Amino acid sequence: MLADCQSFYASVEKAQNPEYTGKPVVVAGDPERRSGIVLAACPLAKAKGVTTAQRLGEAIAQCPDVVIVRPRMAEYIRVSLQISDIYRSYTDLVEPYSIDEQFLDVTGTLHLHGGSPEEMAQSMQRQVLAETGIYCRIGIAENKILAKTACDNYAKKNESGLYVLHKNGLENTLWTLPIHKLFMSGNRMTHHFQSMGIETIGQLAKTPLDRLKGMMRRKFGKNSDINAELYWRIANGEDDSPVTPQTHEAPPQSIGHQMTLPRDYGSLEEIKVVLLELTELVCQRCRGKGFMGQVVAVGCQGADFDRPTGFFRQQKMMDPTNVTNQVYRAAVQLLERHWDGQPVRKVGVTLAQFQDSGQYQLAMFDDRERAMALERATDALKEKYGDSIIMRAVSVTAAGQARDRSGKIGGHYK
């Protein structure tokens, strides 16, 4: 099963604020900081033409009586975890796909709850609605790809919010849909398929795999066989991946932070301020997970997507570390070496090639022990009182973003 919460952020706000009943509600970012886009819109707002990712001004023009709510990410995470606990009362095989979507494998527990998969899904719907006020739609199938497809294309459009997609009936269901409905086929890939004469999912599914690989090689180059097989398998409803509860608990290959700035940063000194703040966040996370990294990467990007500027480069440091100042020095070297002087709107820092922080090479002239003790002390303060309890002096300058960022989760207000 793939269970999806309808208009999740907006539904949480309506469930917890009875005064919004019967009113069109959207959850949106902060327009003053150039993040005024719609993150979620309730069905009443969508009925008036409001869409997710739409600019807030456009949404207001389409729906003048819309109620605009600033996001509360910490509360949305709490409700999402509550819903996960409800699902886990039906099966221990629950895999988060996003904050509002979860995969469930009920094969081994269906007999414990009696009835059919549809009846079990109905029971889940009722319990989630009763305990959280959130309405969920559930796609049911024999594998994850088909369950996701069933939810997105059918359950969301059904009055019951449920749909069972049978693999032996794809010719009359999935294969009749236009190619842009294919899972993982965005606007660009849809255009490529159409240029190859593929207009429906069924046409893609019925194209012999060897022929599809040849078509994609001519389109994208010799290294496109894997993508060809991926899309062909999706179109044919083939997916061997299990529902894995620990899918997000595997050790990370890298840890990074990036942020979109509220304005263009045009001077090296301004960019360095944000670079230091991001480096501190990355190193703080690495210390919390017990990692030291040896490869640091820095990325900068301009605001004009039609004429992209910027860079993404990495370098290997002499020794693995999670000390902020050491990583920052390497990050600054990358910035000074590769920045072309064009205005910057997005900055990112990543640390990779990890080793256990409990073992490291001592250096005769390295004051690492003292630096690490200081970092441990500041980490403890931030964990107890919040990230803004202690900050570097540059963070209170006009270029600093740490204070504002400390009140957000994933770029949105807590």
356 is an annotated ligand-binding site residue = no
Nearest to 165 by CA among 237, 114, 262: 237
Q: Are 280 and 392 in contact (CB under 8 A)?
A: yes
Residue with tokens 């039609």: 306
Neighbour count for residue 393 (Cβ, 10 Å):
7
Cα 112 to chain centroid, rounded: 34
Dist. CA 226–CA 149, nearest whole Å? 21
Instruction: Give the separation between CA 313 and CA 261, rounded to whole angstroms.
Output: 20
Indicate the Cα dihedral angle 123, 126, 131, 137, nearest 10°.
Answer: 100
Taking the C-alpha atoms of residue 115 and residue 130, their distance in angstroms, rounded to an integer, is: 21
Q: Known binder of ligand: residue 65?
A: no
Sign, Cα dihedral of 117, 120, 124, 130: positive
The pair of three-digit structure tokens given for residue 277, joined into one six-digit string: 């703040």
Distance CA 312, CA 299 (A): 4
| Catalytic choice (13, 95, 101, 280) | 101
Cα 53 to the center of its chain, rounded Å: 14
Distance of CA 330 to the CA centre of its chain: 28
Side chain identity at 175, as an amino acid letter?
Answer: W
27 in helix, strand or coil? strand
Known active-site residue 101: yes
Range 275-278 contact pairs with CB under 8 angstroms and sequence separation of 24 or more: 275/328, 275/331, 275/332, 275/335, 275/347, 275/349, 276/324, 276/328, 276/392, 276/394, 277/392, 277/394, 277/395, 277/400, 277/401, 277/402, 277/405, 278/347, 278/348, 278/349
Catalytic residues: 101
Binding site: which residues? Answer: 4, 100
Could you tell me which residues are annotated as the binding site for Mg(2+)? Answer: 4, 100
